[in-house]
Amino acid sequence: MSTSLARPGLISLAAGFTDNPTLPVDEVRGLLDELLSDRLAGEQALQYGSTQGLPALIELTAARIEHLEQKSGNSNAEKKRFAGRLVITHGSQQLLYLVTEVLCDAGDIVLVEDPTYFVYLGIVQSHGLHCRGLRLEPDGIDLASLDRTLTNLRKTGVLPRLKLLYVVTYHQNPTGTTTAFTKKRAALDMLRYYEKWAGHPIYFFEDAAYRELGFEEETEPSVLQLIEAAERIIYAGTYSKPFATGVRVGYGLLPESVREAVIRVKGNHDFGTANFLQHLLARAISSGVYDVHLKSLRRRYAEKANCMISAIRSSFSEVVEWRKPNGGMYMWVSLPRKIKTGLRSSFFARALEHDVLYVPGQICYATDPGRPRPNHEMRLSYGNATPNEIKEGIARLGRVIGEYLC
Amino acid sequence: MSTSLARPGLISLAAGFTDNPTLPVDEVRGLLDELLSDRLAGEQALQYGSTQGLPALIELTAARIEHLEQKSGNSNAEKKRFAGRLVITHGSQQLLYLVTEVLCDAGDIVLVEDPTYFVYLGIVQSHGLHCRGLRLEPDGIDLASLDRTLTNLRKTGVLPRLKLLYVVTYHQNPTGTTTAFTKKRAALDMLRYYEKWAGHPIYFFEDAAYRELGFEEETEPSVLQLIEAAERIIYAGTYSKPFATGVRVGYGLLPESVREAVIRVKGNHDFGTANFLQHLLARAISSGVYDVHLKSLRRRYAEKANCMISAIRSSFSEVVEWRKPNGGMYMWVSLPRKIKTGLRSSFFARALEHDVLYVPGQICYATDPGRPRPNHEMRLSYGNATPNEIKEGIARLGRVIGEYLC
């Protein structure tokens, strides 16, 4: 990000920023004018709140999750049950951090997708944890890979160090993959089966950050449908990316014991997410402004995804592999294995010379003793770049790829 | 806090909330209307920022510290030097947490005032740290107590576990004490002297959260004056309490190596404080709105402090000890030692029966093997209560004290 800010000619297809022209400037102005015109409401918004979050926003969030679940066929969705398990955080990033801090000790093991959200790997590293990467298929983790990994952990006697499986289930960052519900259920069952050797709960941690950013209606329910396993399920969501990234508000839905611990630690971190932002979001949601904005945002991203796909079709060699995204803001591109794309590769340096930046695929892979980190992929974002920048950025990348394929 | 919210008849002299009627509702409305009327500025405010903080706010903060220092006679104050060492956080609470996380490992020792800011003790506990409490005098820590403690740590061979001294230097929470500059200098010298046995830096951590909330002009420079010891100095400040507690923005000034580590860990926590709040604060400061508001807030607190003093004079027995505050929002009240005031005391329960809540002094003392925690004091806040509530709350407390003095 600092690289992209420092060079004005550079086209960044790296940053996970959202689209500037779609940011809801007028909408936020209207909402806050209304909020602050009411002296009492304004005072409440500018005063401290509680550590777990604004009750009104918790209720709205629970209703929102209930609605998403019902639309995707979850007949177990119930607002009341969700509200009691929620906590509001300073972006969903904080939730990821708090959950990991609460559940894991240095030396513990977490399972992640191959590849996964690279910022989560930073959290993992900062806590001194070890990872095992699970092979990713077009509909989510490979269950055979999960089974093999669990068996291996059991056989080597380290299953008691396994604490959780972290999966980004909708339009995954970085690959765009959406996990099939049947796979979530099977994975959760498998984790529960292996608990007898672990001697403690193994949590299924569903990061649904991009759930609301699908180009079409979502059909996969979340793991929350598995009401009988509620004590093993952690679910993270966010309002930042779907609304405004400068307004950091995320949330988590947690088993009671984990929730209590998370709130206690959050009390030490910041004793509550900025109340003002929570009041803003509550108004955005209850007024309908949020949903109207979301609809236009999804259309915009779908257009830009199409723009990137067209550009790739005309600029990249046919040996380059990629998949059409159905939501989110990322495309995952695989070059022939002989072409290294890592931060220290000559390819990366050459792309920078051509004034185009991407996220090297390698940094999206956990350090796992069972395999080297693949080093021939790229994450490309159509989130922040304009259609023209996307076209030009892909053309530049295409030229670099061309050089390396010779 | 949850107790105070649940009982409408209860008067809380416990919460560290600021004064509702003084919250800058109209001011924030004006500032945000201006910000969001400018499409480009609005987009910048609603987009992600960087982890270390908004450059404009960092510059303004550096200039602000420079100004405070110069007013108190610090000829070493220099904006440029301060700006390079700043990081913006989600309230100063987050800075306290990050610094402690970065500098301390479980089993380490930190020195604190007796009594100290009790939320910091929560951070200390959550990291598995040990404390030593230093006797507090009307002008800051007792240097003899510091010397004795350091000698004792050296003699018992645990000085290598000592990482920092944490002091709340202006209108301290909970006692209202302001630390004399000469004491800061002497304490820092002492820490540096003992470093040879520690084998690593021992940091002087100045929490200046209430520096801007003095009733009169401050005259004590901060430890930042000691430019030759800059590598050992950490300074925390906040905009939340002086402006709006619902807008969580704090900051820290750190030695370069500590700053780098803090930014790295903050990247894992939340990759940056909500940009929107930072833009709001930057506008509040640069427009002068912040200073106008601060002036009225200080007048208001001075009035309410006087109101509490009058009420105490007429309602409390003369055997009760207290001191006139010069700023901040707290009074520290000592009862005869035989009257226990702790959370489980009959006195606390009786006060609740009389519908009045205070913070028991005991929770403001660290657990220190060298002494039991004193249990006959109370922290009373005039921050949130109205003048009538203060009068009535103190009268109720006076009746309870009367019962116990019989």
List the domain boundaries for chain A: 2-23+292-405, 40-289
In tens, the pLDDT along A327-350 reads 999 999 999 999 999 999 999 999
- Mutation target to probe the A interface, by most A beta carbons within 10 A, among B38, B276, B281 is B276
> What is the sign, positive or negative, of the torsion defined by CA atoms of A42, A44, A48, A51?
negative
pLDDT value of residue B147: 98
Confidence of residue A76 (pLDDT cuts 50, 70, 90): confident
- pLDDT at A1 > cutoff 80: no
Name the residue with higher pLDDT: B273 or B217.
Answer: B273
Helix (H) or strand (E) holding A205: strand A203-207
Confidence of residue A355 (pLDDT cuts 50, 70, 90): very high
Taking each continuous run of H as one helix and of E as one strand, the counts in chain A are 14, 14
The CA distance from A280 to B94, in Å, is 22
CB under 8 Å, gap of 24 or more: what pairs does A369-373 form? A370/A132, A370/A133, A370/A152, A371/A133
Closest CA to B104 of B112, B114, B115, B116: B112
Contact assignment for A32 to B36 by CB distance below 8 Å = yes
Classified as helix, coil or strand, A7 is coil
In tens, the pLDDT along B327-373 reads 999 999 999 999 999 999 999 999 999 999 999 999 999 999 999 99
Name the residue with higher pLDDT: A21 or A130.
Answer: A130
The CA distance from A281 to A218, in Å, is 23
- pLDDT at B55 > cutoff 80: yes
Give the minimum alpha-carbon distance from B386 to chain A in angstroms, rounded to a whole number. Answer: 15
Confidence of residue B7 (pLDDT cuts 50, 70, 90): confident
Q: Which amino acid does the sequence have at B252?
A: G
Q: What is the mean pLDDT of residues B280-292?
A: 98
Is B332 in contact with B323 (CB distance < 8 Å)? Answer: yes
Contact assignment for B245 to A25 by CB distance below 8 Å = no
Name the residue with higher pLDDT: B217 or A191.
Answer: A191
Mean pLDDT over the full length of chain A: 95
Contact assignment for B97 to A268 by CB distance below 8 Å = yes
Residues in Cβ contact with A325 at an 8 Å cutoff, skipping those fewer than 6 apart = A171, A176, A215, A305, A331
Q: Return the CATH fold of A40-289.
A: Aspartate Aminotransferase; domain 2 (3.40.640)
- pLDDT at B71 > cutoff 60: yes
Contact assignment for B93 to A269 by CB distance below 8 Å = yes
**DSSP output for A213-243:** GBSS------GGG-GGGGGGEEEEEESTTTT
Q: Which of A2, A269, A276 is the closest to B247 by Cβ?
A: A276
- pLDDT at B1 > cutoff 60: no
Instruction: Tell me the β-bridge partners of B204.
Output: B165, B233
Confidence of residue B4 (pLDDT cuts 50, 70, 90): low
pLDDT value of residue B2: 56
Give the minimum alpha-carbon distance from B313 to chain A in angstroms, rounded to a whole number. Answer: 31
Closest CA to A134 of A191, A211, A218: A191
In tens, the pLDDT along A300-321 reads 999 999 999 999 999 999 999 9
Give contacts of A246 with chain B, Cβ < 8 Å. Answer: 44-49, 274-276, 279
In tens, the pLDDT along A377-401 reads 999 999 999 999 999 999 999 999 9
Classified as helix, coil or strand, B54 is coil
Torsions phi, psi for A130 (to 5 deg): -105, 155
Can you read off the two tokens belonging to residue B374? Answer: 């004193």
**CATH for A2-23+292-405?**
3.90.1150.10
% of chain A with per-residue pLDDT over 90: 93
Contact assignment for B29 to A37 by CB distance below 8 Å = yes
Contact assignment for B244 to A47 by CB distance below 8 Å = yes
Is A29 in contact with B51 (CB distance < 8 Å)? Answer: no
The CA distance from B351 to B348, in Å, is 5
pLDDT value of residue B3: 54
pLDDT value of residue B305: 97
Confidence of residue A5 (pLDDT cuts 50, 70, 90): low
Confidence of residue B19 (pLDDT cuts 50, 70, 90): confident
**DSSP output for A255-273:** -HHHHHHHHHHHHHHTSSS
pLDDT value of residue B15: 85
Q: Which of B23, B25, B246 is the closest to A274 by Cβ?
A: B246
pTM, 2 dp:
0.95
- Among B37-46, B68-77, B155-164, whose mean pLDDT is lowest? B68-77
Torsions phi, psi for B42 (to 5 deg): -60, -45
Give contacts of B247 with chain A, Cβ < 8 Å. Answer: 46, 274, 276
Name the residue with higher pLDDT: A125 or B8.
Answer: A125
Q: What is the mean pLDDT of residues B199-225?
A: 94
Classified as helix, coil or strand, A341 is coil
Mean pLDDT over the full length of chain B: 95
Can you read off the two tokens belonging to residue A345? Answer: 């590769």
Confidence of residue B76 (pLDDT cuts 50, 70, 90): confident
Contact assignment for B46 to A28 by CB distance below 8 Å = yes
Contact assignment for B48 to A246 by CB distance below 8 Å = yes
Can you read off the two tokens belonging to residue A46? Answer: 């500018």
Q: Give CA A382 to chain center in angstroms.
A: 16
